[in-house]
Amino acid sequence: MWEAIRNSFKIPELRSRIIFTFLMLAVFRLGVYIPVPGISLASWANFFNGVSAGAGGGFFTLLNAFAGGALSNMSIFAMSVTPYINASIILQLLMAVVPSLKELAKEGEQGRQKIEKYTRELTLLLAAVEAVALTIVVVMPHATPGLNKVAFIILSSISLMAGSMFLQWIGEMITDKGIGNGISIIIFAGVVATYPFYLGQMIISNLSITSWALFFLIFVVTIFGLIYIMQGERRITVQYAKKVVGRRMYGGQSSYIPMKVNQGGVLPIIFAVAILMIPSMIAQFTHNYTLQSIFGFNSVFYIVVYALLVFFFTYFYSAITFDVHDVSDNIKEYGGFIPGIRPGVPTEQYLAKVLSRITFLGAIALVVIALLPNISATIVGSNSGQIVGGVGMMIAVGVALDVVQQMEAHLIMRHYEGFIKRGKLKGRI
């Protein structure tokens, strides 16, 4: 691995991409400590610490993790790239039900650019709405005393909206000139940046040697499990019949359809968290202690409903991302067939059966990962639950895998060994 890292800096293009990515992340981390103009930091710190400890504080903790601690500082980056994530999810759901958007997604590069344009416009709209709502509902009571309220609302909303759109631009720049998906890299940096804080809290709490051993065991097993699930796929063999066109013969070769065990990635967990945070937020701001106890992080009702929602959204998103009818039609159109399965409806039924089986395994795995923070918090301690499992660790592992795969592609293309040994390669430039 260390040899592959050294080789990465020997390739000028890859070296410049890595350096550019780190510089953009440095800008992101610097902005985390620039507060919204007019905010009383002492008042906000007292409020944030209190609400994070409450039953409805899961929403603030999750958003703060995505923002890399920017929300706890009430920074201009407090909303992070959540408006962009929301816009992307909305458009993906719309593409499943709006035929024109679905056709646009199939038009190649031109269609992709149009969808990106729609995503940016929707992101700007959502960022404006979320910035105004966050300022009026949450931030305004903690403005500097004596400051004009209207002026503070305008200034704070514009700052939060501009910060979110600036982060989106940084993400796009990383995608074009850096390494990996820029938006995912920003979320990854935010999530990982909160780990030292929670580790420090665990150290202060004087855990026993047994608790530390259990924590590291859960941590390591979770990482290997996530890699196995994210990389796992079922390959359906497709054979193409031979056909003669003019003097040339086409087809006759075999290929495969990769069916991911985890089609939806982290989105089913995000959907479930977003739904469950609504009653938690209502309970927190209305001081309804009954609701707070019902939707508490470790309550039985919360855990059961959370698991059921994750399970449901895994199936829901798999059905959206892998359309067995379209795949079956494409196989038939290009003269292909699955060995032992007739083209058409039998192929569609077979694919639906296989998808249902592997999605069931993926859903069970996602439920376990989603509940790992609760399990770890019960076994080890409350702060360990912020590090092990859940949305944050899935994003961290997924982004790390994506970056490693892109770097390895650059290395192998230039005759260097990648991160995985495949035997000695001849010739180096």
Instruction: Return d(Cα 418, Cα 409) in angstroms, integer.
Output: 8
pLDDT of 159 higher than 90:
yes
Residues 232 and 311 in one domain: yes
Quick check: is 211 in a domain?
yes
258 in the same domain as 180: no
Band (22; pLDDT cuts 50, 70, 90): very high
Amino acid at 398: G
Question: What's the pLDDT score for residue 423?
Answer: 44
Give the model's confidence band at 421: pLDDT under 50 very low, under 70 low, under 90 confident, else very high: low
pLDDT at 125: 93
Residues 90 and 41 in one domain: yes
In a domain, 33, yes or no: yes
In a domain, 182, yes or no: yes
CB 410 within 8 A of CB 13: yes
Where is the domain boundary, 136, 166, 193? 193
Among 159-163, 167-171, 340-344, 403-407, the minimum mean pLDDT is found in: 403-407
Residue 385 confidence class, pLDDT cut points 50, 70, 90: low
| Residue 226 sits in the same domain as residue 178 | no
% the chain with pLDDT above 90: 13
Q: Of 6-10, 152-156, 166-170, where does mean pLDDT reach its minimum?
A: 6-10
Long-range CB contact pairs, 233-236, < 8 A, 24+: 233/258, 233/259, 233/260, 233/261, 234/258, 234/259, 234/261, 234/354, 234/358, 235/259, 236/338, 236/351, 236/354
Measured at the alpha carbon of residue 38, what is the angle toward residues 42 and 44, in degrees to the nearest 5? Answer: 25
CATH code, domain carrying 34:
1.10.3370.10
Instruction: Return the C-alpha torsion angle 117, 122, 128, 134, nearest 10.
Output: -130
Q: CB atoms < 10 A from the CB of 153, how many? A: 18
Contact partners, residue 340, CB within 8 Å, separation at least 6: none
For residue 7, being part of any structural domain is answered with yes
What sign does the dihedral 391-392-397-401 (CA atoms) show? positive
Please indicate, yes or no, whether residues 31 and 157 belong to a single structural domain of this protein. Answer: yes
Residue 416 lies in a domain: no
Q: Closest Cα partner for 342 from 352, 354, 353, 350?
A: 350
For the segment 86-98, the average pLDDT, to the nearest whole number, is 80
What pLDDT band is residue 428 in, cutting at 50, 70 and 90? Answer: very low
- Say what the pLDDT of residue 383 is: 62
pTM for this entry: 0.78
Percent of the residues in the chain that have a pLDDT greater than 70, as a whole number: 85
- 36 has a pLDDT exceeding 60: yes
Q: Which of 193, 215, 233 is the last residue of a domain?
A: 193
Q: What is the mean pLDDT of residues 102-124?
A: 83
Average pLDDT score over the chain:
81
Please give the pLDDT value at position 425. Answer: 38
Q: Is residue 110 located within the same domain as residue 144? A: yes
Any domain includes 91: yes
Residues 223 and 363 in one domain: yes
Residues 66 and 164 in one domain: yes
What span, in angstroms and rounded, lies between the C-alpha atoms of 222 and 201? 21
Last residue of a domain, one of 162, 193, 224: 193
pLDDT at 114 over 60: yes
More confident residue, 223 or 9: 223
For the record, the structure tokens of 145 come out as 């005393």
Q: Are 71 and 125 found together in one domain?
A: yes
Asked whether residue 353 is domain-assigned, the answer is yes
Structural domain count of the chain: 2
Predicted pLDDT of residue 75: 92
Q: Which two tokens stand for residue 334?
A: 């290009």
Same domain flag for 154 and 284: no
Residue 394 forms part of a structural domain? no
CB 175 within 8 A of CB 181: yes
pLDDT in tens, 179-191: 888 888 888 888 8
Domain with 292, as residue range(s), is 204-388
Residues 223, 349, single domain; the answer is yes
| pLDDT at residue number 264 | 75
- For residue 83, give both structure tokens: 């408006």
Verify that 319 and 214 share a domain, yes or no.
yes
Sign of the Cα torsion 141, 146, 150, 154 reads: negative
